[in-house]
Each structure stands twice: as structure tokens, then as C-alpha cells.
């Protein structure tokens, strides 16, 4: 539950049968001591894949409930009366290893990294925690799971693995590659049913949903979804709808490696659910509805008398007799083709590692004129001195452009009559169809367009410094810039302006421009220690500062003499008293947070989270 002042307190109790222990230890946490005059000394040193000593590694005697923690030099030592002991060595992010120790003979133990251990780790965006000690509601998904479902973006892939996560597709937009689905993690934000988007965090940096939509799933290591009040306590009010924490893949050590991955996807329209009337059936339906009877139910102008209605019906009959049967539903559709390509190179030694990746993606929608193009690049650089200092910097640049149909939507075609041909006797597209309907194929042939684009820069710097084996200082700093635009041009030849006689008002262009800049910095101190042999305490406290600025402007210009000169420079004015408009905003926040966890005897766990911000 969430208490006053931002406190979140929860606890979990697990039952485990206790067994007697005969071990004593000179450090770490240990089980109860049973003195004896003939004890054998067992010792060893644990190393990582680079040959560096590993502090804080857990060494557990198999068959007993106790264990030990290695010191700053990766060393451990304990005594029992047995000649040999079988121990299990574990550390988060590495494969567990069971070895046999002999009394009086020190042993070297080398651990190997294990990417699969991500299942037992909870990444909160502030720190990594053992899943057994995290009492909040969370779900962790690995990259292999996301790629296995075959979805085209991360948002759709999450729905298959996160209970309670609802991805709402906008069916009225069809297979539009630019249509983002609504994402509901903790219900709706208002009674009106507006989507309640969670907070998105990538490698410690807060990003918007557009960034996530264009993200390459091949670069993702894991996704952790935090769904309860503990997420709100860590991130504040902006995390009221939950938090989705994304961790990208780390850089591998070794000689430089170059990798390529590519995908090809086809999208084909399915119209089997549509059962439309034939031309004859449609005319019969119109007769029954009184469409051609003066004073009927149809919404007709007052001057459209019975004689004109009879002439209109005769035209429809002639169209049917000529054999016209237009499949309007198939006119705007095509087979959508999307492909993406990623080239990456990484390498380095045990201290310095680097990685560079480039990605290009192009997606054409099932609806004609719908498309989206993506281009992104990421550069990573890290330095690691095991157990003393770690620093990394990640720079990501994303560019995307999109195009939507200029003729409207699929409904503009579905409402057309099957007895109506889109062409005249000369094979030219008609601007006007029967019943005063505009021809969407004619609109699509004009110079009208709907285009948009964005450019994102995201830089994240992380540093960790170990004062000793129990105390560590962490610092994160990230900044994000975003520039986006949208431009919509309606040709002066469009049927929309059929009743406009003033040439200075024919043709229109609406343009929206946006710029954003955000900073986020965090400074944290972590302390982990064992007390009273069985009580293991982890704590983290720190502060955060963030600032976000946004500048948006928009305008609509009128009066374009040419269909091919769709640029604001060729507009005649804004029309009447209209003028450009815009908004500018600045938001800053500072917060202080604390997260403490205690585990006693591997059976009882308490987790406390507090945050104060303003």
C-alpha cells in the first residue's frame, strides 16, 4: 500500500526447512557455530571471466542453510570438522557453480557469465535487485521471448507476456504502419476512457512512446514491467500507470565482431468478412428506402423533385445494365512489404569495450500511400575496473519519416456504390460520383499529401564507484532532444473546394512543428551488509533532478494556385483573421528517494520504498 509522504512498505515470508550447520566463518554471514577441537580449514578465491577477483559472491555449503560472502579480493574461508565439503557458488549475472573443497587446500573458482539469469533479477531503472527480495508486482521478459512472437514492434510483443497489459488496436485505421496502439497497464486514466500510458525508461533515461514504437527489438536485452505502488514510489506521480524498464544488450569482450540481422514481412489484406450487396441488390435496397421518391427519407435538397430523382435512377439502371460492378474495397489495398536491416560491430578487452550499430527499416502499409521509414544508430563505450570503477556512455540517434493517405481512410471506399465506376467514358477519373460523393481515387491522384517526421538524440552516461565491498556510489545523467513536424497539404483541385469561388481560399496547408529537450540526473549511494550472521540488508538512497522544455507551433495557410507547389512559400495567406499559434512550456522537478530491503535467514523479506519530490 502507498502511505502518506510516498512511503511504500511490503513484506513477504517464505518457508524453508532449517538444517543444522557445523560451519564457522571469518567473514560474511554464516550459520550457527559448533566449536570443536579438530576443524578443517576450507578456502578459495572466486574470479570472473576476465580473471578479476569477485567480491560479494555467495558461497553456500550444500545441505545447510548458511553461507558466506567473499571479501574485496574474492576470498572466502570457513571451518568444519569434515574432510571435504561440497559448496555452491552464486553471483547475480553469472552461472552458479558447485565444487568440492578439501580441507587445507585453497581452490580457484572461475565463474562464467549467464545471460539466462536475467529471470531472477528485477531491473527497476534505479538498481538491479534479486527477484526473491523484490516484493512489488513485476514481470520480466527476455529478448528471445520478444522476438519469438514475431510482432513488428515492442508494444505488441509485450502483450503476450505481461498479465494485465492490454494493447488496444485502432481497427478503424486498419494496417496503418504509423498508427500506434493504445497501451493500458493499470486501467484507464479518466472516465472518458482515454489511454493511460505507463512511464518508459531505457537504460535509465525516460523516453516517450514514439521512441519505443521505433525501437529495434534486436538491441533489447530485457524488459521489466513494474505495475504497483512501489513503481510510483520510485518514480513519483508520473509512474501512476506503471513503469516499463528496458535494458539494451551489453557490449561483449573480445576481438571485433561484425553481425548482420535482417527481417522481411508481408502483410496481405483480408476482405473475407465483408459481404456487400451486388449492384442489383443495392438498387433494390435504395428503392425500398425511398431514395428515389420525393418526400422520402433521403436527405435531399428541396429543389431535387421527382423528375430529377427519376433521371438519377435511370442513370443508375444504365450503369448496372452496362455491367459495372466496381470492387471499391480492393481499390486502395495492396500487399504491404516491410524489411529491416541491422549491422553491428563490437569488441574490446577486459577494461575498455565499444559497440556500434546501424539500423534501417522501411514499411509500406496495406493502404496505398501509407509508409514509414526508420534510420537509427547507436554507439556505446564502457570502461570497467572490476570491483572498483565502471563507466559507460550510450549515444542513440533515431530518424523516422511517415506518410499517410491523402484521400482519407478506408471508409471513403467502403461507402461507395458498386454500380458506380470511378472513371468516365474517356477513362479519366471522375471528381464527383452519384449522390454527390467525392471520388477517393481522384483525390489520391492529386498532389495532396500527409507527411510527418522526427529526429531524436538520446545520450546516457552511467558511472559506478566502489568505496569498499559494501558501499557504492552510482551516478546517471541523460539528455534527450526531439524535433518533429507534420505537414498536410490539400490540393486546390480537391473536391473539398467544389463550392469555393474565391481562388485565394482554394488549397490549404497545415503544418505543426515541435521541439523538446529533457535532462535527468540521479546520484545514489548503495550499502549492502550482513548483520547477526543471518540478516542481509541492502539499501539505496539518492536524489534526482530533471528538466523538460517543449516548444510547439502550428499554422494553416490558404490559397495555392498550383497542385504541384505544395509548400508554404506559395500560399497567399492565412485566411481572414487566422494566424499562427504556439505553446511553450518548462517543467522542473527534484526528488529524494530511499529503497531498503532486509532478508533474514533466507526466509523473511521486507522491502521499503520512499520518495519525496516537488
Q: Nearest 5°: phi and psi at 117?
A: -70, 0
Q: What does the block give as the cell for 399? A: 530518424
Diameter over CA atoms, the chain: 120
- 362: cell is 522501411
The radius of gyration computed from the CA coordinates of the chain, to the nearest angstrom, equals: 33
Please name the residues in contact with 350: beta carbons below 8 A apart, sequence gap of 6 or more: 50, 51, 52, 253, 384, 386
- Contact present, 511 and 568 (Cβ < 8 Å): yes
Q: 2: which 3 cell numbers?
A: 502507498
The pLDDT value given to residue 16: 35
Alpha carbon 513 to its chain centroid, in Å, reads: 23
Q: Is 298 left (phi over 0), alpha (psi -120 to 50) or beta?
A: beta
Three-state DSSP state, 303: coil
Strands 107-110, 432-433: parallel, antiparallel or unpaired by DSSP?
Answer: unpaired
Distances (CA, A) of 158 to 217, 318, 437, 584: 11, 55, 42, 34
How is 195-217 classified by DSSP, letter by letter?
--PPEEEETTEEE-HHHHHT--G
Q: Which residues contact residue 596 at a Cβ distance below 8 angstroms, ignoring those fewer than 6 apart?
A: 537, 538, 539, 540, 607, 608
What whole-number distance in Å separates Cα of residue 289 and Cα of residue 189? 43
C-alpha pair distances (Å), 311 with each of 141, 291, 320, 509, 563: 66, 13, 15, 39, 34
Name the CATH architecture for the domain at 8-113: Sandwich (2.60)
Helix (H) or strand (E) holding 315: helix 306-321
Topology of the domain covering 333-600:
Maltoporin; Chain A (2.40.170)
The mean pLDDT values, 10 residues at a time, for the chain of 614 residues are: 38 36 43 57 88 82 77 86 89 84 90 60 54 59 76 74 68 65 57 60 80 80 75 68 82 84 88 89 91 64 69 90 92 90 89 92 90 92 85 92 88 89 91 87 92 93 86 90 94 90 89 94 86 79 92 93 87 81 92 85 78 81
Nearest to 23 by CA among 5, 41, 6: 41
Please provide the CATH number assigned to the domain covering 116-249: 2.170.130.10
pLDDT for residue 530:
75
The pLDDT, as a whole number, for residue 388 is 84
Residue boundaries of the structural domains of the chain: 8-113, 116-249, 279-324, 333-600
Helices (H), 142-191: 143-148, 154-158
Cβ neighbours of residue 84 closer than 8 Å, sequence gap 6 or more? 100, 101, 102, 103
Total length of the chain:
614
| Residue 148: other Cβ atoms inside 10 A | 12
Q: Is this model's pTM higher than 0.85 or not?
A: no
Nearest in space to 119 (alpha carbons), one of 110, 130, 111: 130
Amino acid at each position: 500500500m502507498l502511505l502518506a509522504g510516498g512511503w511504500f512498505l511490503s513484506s513477504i515470508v517464505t518457508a524453508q526447512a532449517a538444517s543444522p550447520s557445523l560451519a564457522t566463518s571469518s567473514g560474511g554471514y554464516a550459520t550457527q557455530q559448533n566449536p570443536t577441537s579438530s576443524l578443517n580449514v576450507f578456502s578459495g578465491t572466486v574470479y570472473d571471466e576476465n580473471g578479476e577477483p569477485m567480491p560479494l559472491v555467495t558461497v553456500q555449503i550444500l545441505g545447510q542453510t548458511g553461507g558466506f560472502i567473499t571479501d574485496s579480493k574474492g576470498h572466502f574461508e570457513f571451518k568444519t570438522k569434515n574432510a571435504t565439503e561440497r559448496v555452491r557458488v552464486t553471483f547475480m549475472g553469472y552461472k552458479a557453480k558447485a565444487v568440492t573443497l578439501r580441507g587445507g587446500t585453497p581452490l580457484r573458482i572461475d565463474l562464467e557469465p549467464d545471460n539466462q539469469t536475467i529471470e531472477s533479477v528485477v531491473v527497476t531503472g534505479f538498481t538491479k535487485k534479486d527477484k526473491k527480495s523484490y516484493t512489488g508486482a513485476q514481470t520480466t521478459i527476455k529478448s528471445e521471448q520478444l522476438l519469438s512472437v514475431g510482432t513488428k514492434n515492442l508494444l505488441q510483443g509485450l502483450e503476450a507476456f505481461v498479465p494485465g497489459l492490454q494493447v488496444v488496436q485502432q481497427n478503424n485505421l486498419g494496417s496503418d504502419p504509423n498508427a500506434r496502439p493504445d497501451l493500458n497497464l493499470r486501467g484507464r486514466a479518466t472516465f472518458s476512457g482515454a489511454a493511460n500510458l505507463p512511464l518508459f525508461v531505457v537504460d535509465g533515461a525516460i523516453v516517450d512512446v514514439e521512441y519505443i514504437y521505433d525501437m529495434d527489438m534486436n538491441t533489447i536485452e530485457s524488459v521489466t514491467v513494474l505495475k504497483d505502488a512501489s513503481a510510483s514510489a520510485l518514480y513519483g506521480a508520473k509512474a501512476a500507470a506503471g513503469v516499463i524498464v528496458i535494458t539494451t544488450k551489453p557490449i561483449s569482450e573480445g576481438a571485433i565482431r561484425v553481425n548482420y540481422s535482417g527481417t522481411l514481412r508481408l502483410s496481405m489484406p483480408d476482405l473475407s468478412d465483408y459481404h456487400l450487396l451486388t449492384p442489383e441488390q443495392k438498387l433494390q435496397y435504395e428503392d425500398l428506402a425511398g431514395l428515389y421518391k420525393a418526400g422520402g427519407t433521403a436527405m435531399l435538397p428541396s429543389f431535387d423533385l421527382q423528375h430529377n430523382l427519376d433521371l438519377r435512377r435511370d442513370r443508375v439502371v444504365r450503369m448496372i445494365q452496362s455491367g459495372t460492378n466496381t470492387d471499391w474495397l480492393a481499390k486502395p489495398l495492396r500487399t504491404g512489404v516491410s524489411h529491416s536491416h541491422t549491422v553491428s560491430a563490437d569488441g574490446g578487452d577486459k577494461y575498455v569495450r565499444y559497440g556500434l550499430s546501424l539500423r534501417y527499416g522501411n514499411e509500406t502499409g496495406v493502404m496505398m500511400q501509407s509508409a514509414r521509414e526508420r534510420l537509427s544508430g547507436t554507439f556505446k563505450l564502457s570502461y570497467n575496473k572490476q570491483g572498483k570503477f565502471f563507466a559507460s556512455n550510450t549515444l542513440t540517434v533515431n530518424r523516422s519519416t511517415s506518410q499517410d493517405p491523402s484521400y482519407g481512410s478506408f471508409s471513403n471506399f467502403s461507402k461507395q456504390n458498386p454500380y458506380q465506376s470511378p472513371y468516365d467514358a474517356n477513362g479519366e477519373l471522375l471528381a464527383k460520383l452519384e449522390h454527390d460523393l467525392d471520388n477517393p481515387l481522384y483525390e489520391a491522384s492529386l498532389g495532396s499529401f500527409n507527411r510527418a517526421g522526427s529526429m531524436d538524440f538520446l545520450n546516457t552516461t552511467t558511472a559506478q564507484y566502489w568505496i569498499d565491498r559494501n558501499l557504492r556510489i552510482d551516478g546517471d545523467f541523460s539528455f534527450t532532444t526531439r524535433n518533429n513536424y507534420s505537414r498536410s497539404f490539400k490540393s486546390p483541385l480537391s473536391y473539398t473546394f467544389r463550392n469555393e469561388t474565391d481562388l485565394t481560399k482554394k488549397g490549404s496547408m497545415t503544418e505543426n512543428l515541435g521541439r523538446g529537450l529533457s535532462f535527468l540526473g540521479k546520484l545514489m549511494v548503495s550499502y549492502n551488509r550482513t548483520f547477526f550472521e543471518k540478516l542481509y540488508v541492502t539499501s539505496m538512497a539518492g536524489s534526482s533532478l530533471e528538466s523538460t522544455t517543449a516548444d510547439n507551433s502550428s499554422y494553416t495557410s490558404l490559397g495555392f494556385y498550383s497542385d504541384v507547389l505544395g509548400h508554404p512559400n506559395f500560399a497567399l495567406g492565412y485566411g481572414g483573421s487566422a494566424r499562427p499559434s504556439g505553446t511553450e512550456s518548462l517543467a522542473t522537478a527534484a526528488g529524494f528517494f530511499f529503497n531498503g530491503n532486509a532478508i533474514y535467514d533466507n526466509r523473511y523479506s521486507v522491502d521499503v520504498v520512499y520518495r519525496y519530490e516537488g
